[in-house]
Structure 1
Amino acid sequence: MFRPEKMREVYVLGLRKDREDILKKIQQLGTIHLKKTDISDLNETPSELIHDAVQSLEQIREIRKLFRDKTSIFGKKTEKVKIDETGDAAFAAVSKRYIGRIHNSAKDILKSEKEFEDKRKAIEKKLDLLDHFRDADIRPESISDNRKFISGLGIVSRDNLKKIENLCDYRIADETEEKAYIIFISKKEDWKKICHIIDRFDTDEKSIIECIRDLRKDLEAIEKQITYTDESAKEIRKEKAKILAYEERWKNIKARLSKEKLLGRTEKTFVINGWIPSGNLGKLESIENIAVFEGRSKTEPPVKLDNPSFVKPFEKITKWFGLPQYREIDPTMFIAVGFPIFFAIMLTDVAYGLILLTASVFAYFKTDDEDLKALAHILIISAAATVIAGLIFGSVFGNFWGFTSVLDALRDPIRILKISLAIGLVHINFGLGLNLYSKIKEKSKDVLEPLSWFLFEAGILAAMIGTETIRQIGYAAIALVFIYRLKDGITGFLSVPSFFGSWISYIRLMALAVATSWLQFVINMGVTAAAKVSIILAALVFVFGHLFNMSLNVVSAFVHSMRLHYVEFFEQFYESGGEEFTPLKNEKKYSG
């Protein structure tokens, strides 16, 4: 729980004729992180199936363009489709026919959609252009070409109007800040000099009104064609669940086949080298027709975090910073405790906590996305902690329905400041304690690194509150720490003010708590003032004011809670840099 799951290096030996079957079983087991063997292998032509997988996945990628899901992230749960567990070759034959047929239809639909969309945009652009000439008195014959002259409608940049003055006659029908819409006539020899400046529009010797009428008819026809094409696309969208299941099966096949390059081979045998969690070794050994040997590699094993289910979502926060190294302490459990507390202190309102709790519970049960589910879980715990903090601070929409309690962010900022600094001191020292524990366990020579900070703090405390003798001892302890720090030169010396900087950073707990409360106070004053004008206005100020304040401070509390862990807490003991445990396994999100 406080360290990554223990790993064993294994070598799996089998006969080459059983390789495909054994690799499938290992993929079904889903517990081995494969790595390249140091055993020389024979050259082998890649399986034809890998080419089929790449081609089919590319076709499905094209088909997926038609899905264009407009549903919310809180839409219906993922529908699973049962795919017969036939052999890869049989599945490939069925899939290529099915996916190939749909891909051909999808390709035609996508091509038609693009053509129709391009036509629609072109027509809409012409209509927009003609709208600028609608009120101009223009006869069709006045904008038609002859042997000597070029005439018509055009768009020209206002900056270029002076450039065409001596080369054509024009009248401005309409203009904007950047463009002028002109009716022009020019000699053919002059037109060659200005044709790159004027964006000409041809009306086919029709009146402006006739052009607009005909273009609108064309637009209606295009819209009907787009609707018809979309109906065809809907038929393909009905197959979405099945297509996604086929895609998942192909991805599983590709994942397995792509790992074959990591295997060691001889003429009659093959060997797999990888890492497996210790608890799963027995399951691996139960696979038939293999021999399993434990390795003794000096390379660092991959990292698989091992936490209880209620803590597991907080692994996201750990991973955003970086996984621990294999022999390093996993900070996830400490984040699961510290993060909600910091979040609650900064948001600190019963009503805000209840609103966030309701929204998070709704999101948790409605979404099927794993990342969103984890985020909702984190917010549920943080929101519940916020309700408790709100009771301690006596805040329900600030002082709107407030009550007397232990603390008041408006009246007791100094007390909250002291509490914030006390929490910071505990948090930092806990990190130093973890550092000391790790150094002792590893029998490291750097054990004095965390110990020096404990001595430094004890020296300051003794110098502040001790007797004369104790104070002298405290001064000596502080001096010793400074001398010890000088071993790292100027960097070591600067680590002392940096330590205080980390501690002072926890003032943000107080700052955000007070900021939330003061904004609530201002909003509530606005509600009181608005109530004298209108109850509806007061309600609008109340709802939108508190929603804005809550949204702003939920984001701030989340970000600053992470920062206090990433910068101030992790700095004391955490290095990160571990490689994630990524076993060869079958994904089963869409296929049953």
Structure 2
Amino acid sequence: MLKVAKKYIIAFPKDKEESVLDLIKDSEGIEIESNFQKEGTDENIQNIDYLISSASFAVNFLSSFAKKESFIYKLNNPKIQVKKEDVAKFKNPGKLNEMVQKVIELEKELSSQNKELKNHNSDLKEIEMFEGLDFIPRETEFSRSFILKLEEKKVSESKFYIKPINALFYKAFLLKEKEQDFLKFIEESRGEIVDYRFPEIPSLQKKKCLEEIRKIKKREDEIKKEIAKIALSYNDFKIYHDVLCLERRQAEAGRKTGKTGILNYMIFWALEKEKKELELKCARISRDIRIADLKLEEQDKPPVAIENNRWIAPFQSVTDIFGLPAENEIDPTPYLAFFFIIYFGICITDAAYGLMLAIFSLIPLLFFKKRFGKNKLLKLLFYGGISTFVMGVLFGSYFGTSPSSLRISFMERLKVIDPIKDTVLFMGVSFALGYIQICFSQIVKIIKGLKFKDADSILGGISWILLYLSFGLYVLSFKFAFLGVIAPIFIFSSLAFLLWEESRGQKIFLRPLIGAIKILQGMIGTASDILSYSRLMALGLGTGVIALIVNQIAFLFKDMIPYFGWIVAALILVGGHIFNLGINALGGFIHSARLQFVEFFPKFLEGGGRRLKPLGPDLKYIEIN
């Protein structure tokens, strides 16, 4: 059901502002208008944003130092449960904020130490390359010394004093007056003068470098121990982060509050239920707080929300992909539910796959309720698994094979259609379902017209559904002869009514032409829509064929490979069928949804509804009881 938010104004004494804002910040269903928002930046909000980003950084950084929680524990406890009265303890957490700043400082120091350690390790590698060097190359008044990288053959041909240092380098000593000849020799020999950039000889420099590395590692260990000690309060950092988010909401609400000498006031959007809850809470604070309805202005676009019972709510996952209906439309979720789930089952058409999908969806819903208990998509997949199981039984497919092959011959009696042998019949069923849903779309259009007292929707829906039904009678007349007389009369009568309805409001001499064009466009569109339902047959056949191929390949390998063939076959069967289920469940969901969006919705729905925008960032880590 579509719920349209209303516009309200709340007025409250100045001294009750903090209490009122505290109530509003906790609400997920109130959107505050920015009529009184001051221009420019708000210093308080900027400070809170800085604290939130700092706390977020601390939480992310400490995660690798905090006690590791098991995967199962995380599934069972997705958020920290916090009592409302305990939240107040974190509103002025001077010590915790100091710890956040300390974490940031320690992270900077640790990064600096890591950088230094990398530099020293790099230096150490470079120093080890010069192992065996017992002097520092330098220039004196009368001599020069160099470290060279040169081919051994060129060394033996040289007339200069060149001796090996190690396997990589040579050392050379010469008089300063011979320097130019030496440089020319190096150039001609394609050698290279190597720079030694350290102040001590390698043996001494290596000792210094190792000592520096030891000091850095010692300090790193000290920092990590200090961080690990702070990480014992890891959950407190998470709570602090979300409490700051609540303060951000409150500050944002305060910024959008209009202020006078005695009373403050605020304009907001809310659903009726949220408004009543807020009234009750405000009554406990003060009798002087008043909430009143506001008349909508021309430019106002009310936010909307969808609420359905627990059986229909999972199908909101489909509607949410399309978008919300506008405030003057109806919620399509209850009307698409039956068709979507039937189409999903037909797209997979395998009883075993349906059973697997239902079990895989049910496990998290039953055993991990805190995280997945409200997950609409998982519930929808569970429904889809049941639908797939039923369709699989009717189509006689179990992992791509027949019931008799699996020694459950009694299930053969429930088989209605063989999709491989009865392909034409399968296609006819797909088109019949399309025809039924297109007819039903006009009924929904009539319901919408009655709800909003829209004569065009009512007359349009009636005229088109009469035409659809008349064509249905014509098709049935091939089976039941007595309808052969009624059907043509019904067709021409409905065409005349539709021509009148489609040409209403036009000039008298243009009515036949415009009406005929609109009818022709509508009939072509309807035929195209019904043909589009052939995808149900294509996907249903595809699932069965792939399952059949997986079985054939598995048993082929079983016979080909002696002794271990059954292991390979088992792996192929498990992997192949899981892949087939996954890819076709995805395809079934997408195409079943597409039939709603493209063929069903346009007959009565435009969309474009606006969601409520609650204050501030969402709470990532805590749930307030």
> Which segment drifts farther, 473-482 or 345-354?
473-482
Partner of 2:315: 314
Residues 45 and 556 (structure 1), Cα distance of their counterparts in 2 relative to 1, 3 Å cut: closer
Asked whether 1:513 is paired with 2:540, we answer: yes
Residues 284 and 504 (structure 1), Cα distance of their counterparts in 2 relative to 1, 3 Å cut: same
Partner of 1:564: 595
Partner of 1:542: 573
Q: Is the 8 A contact 1:82 1:591 kept in 2?
A: yes
Q: After superposition, where does 1:36-55 map in structure 2 within 5 Å?
A: 36-37=34-35, 50-55=45-50
Q: Is the 8 A contact 2:258 2:266 kept in 1?
A: yes
- For residues 217-247 of structure 1, the C-alpha deviation after alignment (integer angstroms, 9 at most, x for no partner) is 9999999987776655544444332222222
Question: 1:508: how far off?
Answer: 1.3
Residues 479 and 30 (structure 1), Cα distance of their counterparts in 2 relative to 1, 3 Å cut: closer
Aligned-partner SS, 2:610: coil
Q: After superposition, where does 1:265-276 map in structure 2 within 5 Å?
A: 265-276=259-270
Residues 111 and 371 (structure 1), Cα distance of their counterparts in 2 relative to 1, 3 Å cut: farther
Partner of 1:297: 296
Question: 1:329: how far off?
Answer: 0.9
Q: Is the 8 A contact 2:37 2:256 kept in 1?
A: no
2:386 to 384, 387, 395: 384
Asked whether 1:256 is paired with 2:257, we answer: no
Question: How many residues are paired up?
Answer: 540
Question: 1:397: how far off?
Answer: 0.9
Partner of 1:331: 332
Q: TM-score, normalised by structure 1?
A: 0.75
2:60 partner amino acid: K
Q: Using the alignment, how far apart are the partners of 1:316 and 1:574 within structure 2?
A: 17
Partner of 1:59: 54
Partner of 1:178: none
1:291 partner amino acid: R
Q: Is the 8 A contact 2:499 2:516 kept in 1?
A: no
Partner of 1:457: 468
Which structure would you say has the larger Rg? Answer: 2
Q: Is the 8 A contact 1:59 1:99 kept in 2?
A: no
Aligned-partner SS, 2:608: coil
Aligned-partner SS, 1:267: coil
1:575 to 577, 596, 606: 606
Partner of 1:107: 104
Q: Using the alignment, how far apart are the partners of 1:7 and 1:451 within structure 2?
A: 31
- For residues 354-380 of structure 1, the C-alpha deviation after alignment (integer angstroms, 9 at most, x for no partner) is 222222222333375569823222212
Q: Using the alignment, how far apart are the partners of 1:386 and 1:111 within structure 2?
A: 56
Q: After superposition, where does 1:163-202 map in structure 2 within 5 Å?
A: none
Partner of 2:524: 497
Aligned-partner SS, 1:272: strand
Q: Using the alignment, how far apart are the partners of 1:476 and 1:150 within structure 2?
A: 106
Q: Is the 8 A contact 1:13 1:290 kept in 2?
A: yes
Aligned-partner SS, 1:13: strand
**Structure 1 unaligned regions, length at least 5:** 154-186, 193-197, 206-210
Question: 1:468: how far off?
Answer: 6.5
Q: TM-score, normalised by structure 2?
A: 0.71
Residues 374 and 215 (structure 1), Cα distance of their counterparts in 2 relative to 1, 3 Å cut: farther
Q: Using the alignment, how far apart are the partners of 1:488 and 1:271 within structure 2?
A: 54
Q: After superposition, where does 1:134-533 map in structure 2 within 5 Å?
A: 232-279=226-273, 281-286=275-280, 287=283, 288=286, 289-298=288-297, 299-364=300-365, 365-366=367-368, 368-369=370-371, 373-399=375-401, 401=406, 404=412, 405-447=415-457, 448-458=459-469, 460-461=471-472, 465=477, 467=484, 470-471=487-488, 474=491, 484=502, 487=514, 494-532=521-559, 533=561
> Which segment drifts farther, 109-118 or 5-14?
109-118
Aligned-partner SS, 1:75: helix
Give me the identity figure in percent. 23
Partner of 2:583: 552
Aligned-partner SS, 1:250: helix
Residues 383 and 335 (structure 1), Cα distance of their counterparts in 2 relative to 1, 3 Å cut: same
Q: Is the 8 A contact 2:83 2:624 kept in 1?
A: yes
- For residues 510-552 of structure 1, the C-alpha deviation after alignment (integer angstroms, 9 at most, x for no partner) is 1111100011111111122122131112112211111221111
Q: Is the 8 A contact 1:420 1:510 kept in 2?
A: yes
Q: Is the 8 A contact 1:248 1:591 kept in 2?
A: no
Q: Is the 8 A contact 2:328 2:452 kept in 1?
A: no
Q: After superposition, where does 1:62-73 map in structure 2 within 5 Å?
A: 62-68=57-63
Q: Using the alignment, how far apart are the partners of 1:519 and 1:506 within structure 2?
A: 21
Question: 1:284: how far off?
Answer: 3.8
Aligned-partner SS, 2:611: coil
Q: Using the alignment, how far apart are the partners of 1:502 and 1:219 within structure 2?
A: 73
> Which segment drifts farther, 114-123 or 544-553?
114-123
Q: Is the 8 A contact 1:311 1:333 kept in 2?
A: yes
Aligned-partner SS, 2:304: coil
Q: Using the alignment, how far apart are the partners of 1:493 and 1:580 within structure 2?
A: 37
- For residues 375-421 of structure 1, the C-alpha deviation after alignment (integer angstroms, 9 at most, x for no partner) is 22221221122222222222221106375222222222222211111
Q: Is the 8 A contact 1:245 1:590 kept in 2?
A: no
- For residues 560-585 of structure 1, the C-alpha deviation after alignment (integer angstroms, 9 at most, x for no partner) is 12212222221221111112234559
Q: Using the alignment, how far apart are the partners of 1:100 and 1:290 within structure 2?
A: 35
Q: Using the alignment, how far apart are the partners of 2:296 and 2:339 within structure 1?
A: 37
Question: 1:260: how far off?
Answer: 2.5
> Which segment drifts farther, 439-448 or 12-21?
439-448
Residues 589 and 429 (structure 1), Cα distance of their counterparts in 2 relative to 1, 3 Å cut: farther
> Which segment drifts farther, 8-17 or 345-354?
8-17
- For residues 145-200 of structure 1, the C-alpha deviation after alignment (integer angstroms, 9 at most, x for no partner) is 998999669xxxxxxxxxxxxxxxxxxxxxxxxxxxxxxxxx989x99xxxxx9x9
2:12 partner amino acid: G
Question: 1:60: how far off?
Answer: 0.9
Question: 1:325: how far off?
Answer: 1.6
Residues 139 and 390 (structure 1), Cα distance of their counterparts in 2 relative to 1, 3 Å cut: same
- For residues 335-362 of structure 1, the C-alpha deviation after alignment (integer angstroms, 9 at most, x for no partner) is 4333322211111222222222222222
Aligned-partner SS, 2:290: strand
Partner of 2:508: none
Aligned-partner SS, 2:622: coil
Residues 223 and 373 (structure 1), Cα distance of their counterparts in 2 relative to 1, 3 Å cut: farther
Q: Using the alignment, how far apart are the partners of 1:201 and 1:576 within structure 2?
A: 72
> Which segment drifts farther, 297-306 or 446-455?
446-455
- For residues 423-460 of structure 1, the C-alpha deviation after alignment (integer angstroms, 9 at most, x for no partner) is 11222222221112212433335334434432442454
Question: 1:490: how far off?
Answer: 8.0
Q: CA RMSD in A?
A: 5.0
**Structure 2 unaligned regions, length at least 5:** 139-143, 151-181, 200-204, 478-482, 504-512
Q: Is the 8 A contact 2:38 2:255 kept in 1?
A: no
Question: 1:470: how far off?
Answer: 4.6
